[in-house]
Structure 1
Amino acid sequence: MARARFIEDLVAEQAGHGLTQYVILGAGLDTFAQRRPEIASRLHVFEVDPPGPQAWKRQRLDELGFGTPEWLHFVPVDFEARESWLDGLRKAGFDESKPAIVVSTGVSMYLSKEANAATLRQVAALAPGSMFAMTFLLPLDMAEPDVRPGLEMAEKGARASGTPFISFFKPQEMVQMARDAGFSDARHVSAADLTERYFKDRPDGLRPPINAEELLLAQR
């Protein structure tokens, strides 16, 4: 939840600075467009996801009365058939001459290192001013002892379901990959950073997991 809040705060901030395109890779059941229409309606929001799950989501949104406003663009992409998400964006009206904020959460661990590097290069080739926020899993041996059992269980479950975690990155490795891809600025946003930002004054002691899934923030 802290990572989602950070990303939505980032989108709101960039929208305030005039950015007009927001791309969600692997959007799934993301509800930003429905929960934050006061921000989303100032943008062109592009949700990229496989055709089947996306069709189901669109049907449910229609059934619930949300529909599809003109600023929300569904971009069906069959990743297993190696379809290009960039080609899908172009067909959906994405303007390559304008900067965008591109977000990918909960995806990198299912992709090879080479595929993650390719995504970084593709986003880094977008218009100047574009930003990329993505989550990545730390190697399990870097996780805090109280977090490691849950991560190991998640890893076993993913493997059993046929979608194993295949990529883990140390923060400095992830930052270097972003710079090598062509980003002018890249930084690691840790769980400690999120704790300081969102949980510092909570009286109940609630904190996000330490050293688990972390964030990369990179700018073109």
Structure 2
Amino acid sequence: MAKSSTRTVAALRAMHQLMDEPRIFDDPLALKILGDAGREEVLQASTQSDDPMSKALRIALAVRSRLAEDEWAGAYQNGVRQYVLLGAGLDTYAYRHTANGSRIFEVDLAGTQQCKRDALRAAGMGVPETVRYVSTDFERDDLDAALGSAGFDRKAPAFFSWLGVTPYLDEQAVFRTVDFMARCAPGSAVVFDYIVAPSLLAPMERLALEMLGAKLAENGEPLKTFFDPVRLEEQMLLRGYRTATSIRPEQITERYLKNRGDGAKAGNVTRLLHARV
């Protein structure tokens, strides 16, 4: 995950803690990890008028984090002890859960990981012994080798959380990572998000995506890859997964957004997919 998107995601996650009630995703360290300057920016932003795009992004980020951690909790209950965050950014899971006996592998670009180490140090947050930082560029490096060097056990099942990454990769790199996870031990699973192919979106959804894509491109992070949900599920099964399910907006609403008073709803531009090996 690139540096600019890393900070943006972390700020939106922190804003969710302050602006959305009830919270979908609880992260008591979301503000702390941003440092003094980042915290002040978020606090100031939270007092201003709430534009619809910002709210939609916050809700989408909160839902994807909640779903991934819920599915990881289920995997943990079933005996899985390896948690791999692909594109970890400033995710705080490992620093909120320091004594559950799991091994946590945070995978990201070397520069992003250095920024995180600096942020943790500035916030007075130590790195638990269970955490391993794995520096990898998904489009250039061998993820299998990088994780192996960090102590990842290919013979034991693992749960992978892969959020906010696939849209920025070319399709070949996405499926190279998909294939690696498919070769992991039975009982492994992954939750990842992706952007729906624009041709399948409604006109207003396409417009919103175009606006977001233009802004990201200006920041040097163009969107590269989009998927048809049905075809993606088929590809996952062909590549060796036992199950592969894209979670529809109405399912997200039923699970996390039902009976809210703020009108928050699941969008259709991004989807989450849960697959099991």
SS at match of 2:222: coil
2:270 matches 1:213: yes
Q: What 5-or-longer segments of structure 1 have no aligned partner? A: none
State the alpha-carbon separation in 2 of the partners of residues 184 and 56 from structure 1. 37
Q: For the residues of structure 2 that align with 1:159 and 1:64, how far apart are their CA atoms?
A: 31
Per-residue CA shift, 1:178-206, capped at 9, x if unaligned?
A: 11111111111122211110111213322
CA RMSD of aligned residues (A): 1.7
Q: Using the aligned pairs only, state the percent identity.
A: 36
- Per the TM alignment, residue 115 of structure 1 is displaced from its structure 2 partner at its CA by 1.8
> Is 1:56–2:124 an aligned residue pair?
no
| Match among 180, 195, 199 for residue 253 of structure 2 | 195
Aligned to 1:127: 185
Change (3 A) 1:36 1:194: farther
Letter in 2 for 1:73: R
TM-score, normalisation: structure 1:
0.91
- 1:144-167 CA distances to partner (integer Å, 9 max, x unpaired)? 444433211111122233332121
User: Which is further off, 29-38 or 177-186?
Assistant: 29-38
**1:33 CA displacement:** 1.4
Q: Normalised by the size of structure 2, how large is the TM-score? A: 0.73
Give, in angstroms, the shift of residue 137 of structure 1.
Answer: 0.4
Measured in 1, the distance between the counterparts of 2:201 and 2:92 equals 29
Deviations 1:44-83, CA, capped at 9 Å, x for gaps? 1100011111012112212222211111111112446x22
Matched, 1:33 2:90: no
How many matched pairs?
216
Amino acid at match of 2:208: G
Q: Where does the alignment leave 5 or more consecutive residues of structure 2 unmatched? A: 1-61
Describe the SS at the equivalent of 2:113: helix
Q: Which amino acid aligns with 2:234?
A: Q
Q: Does 1:105 align with 2:166?
A: no
Query: Alpha carbons of 1:143 and 1:37: their partners in 2 closer, same or farther (altered >3 Å)?
Result: farther
Alpha-carbon distance, 1:219 to partner = 0.6
CA 1:67–1:15 in 2, change beyond 3 Å: closer, same or farther? same
Q: Which residue of 1 aligns with 2:175?
A: 117
The answer on whether the counterparts of 2:138 and 2:173 sit within 8 Å (CA) in structure 1 is: no
* Aligned mates of 2:77, 2:165 — CA distance in 1: 27
Range moving further from structure 2, 141-150 or 128-137 = 141-150
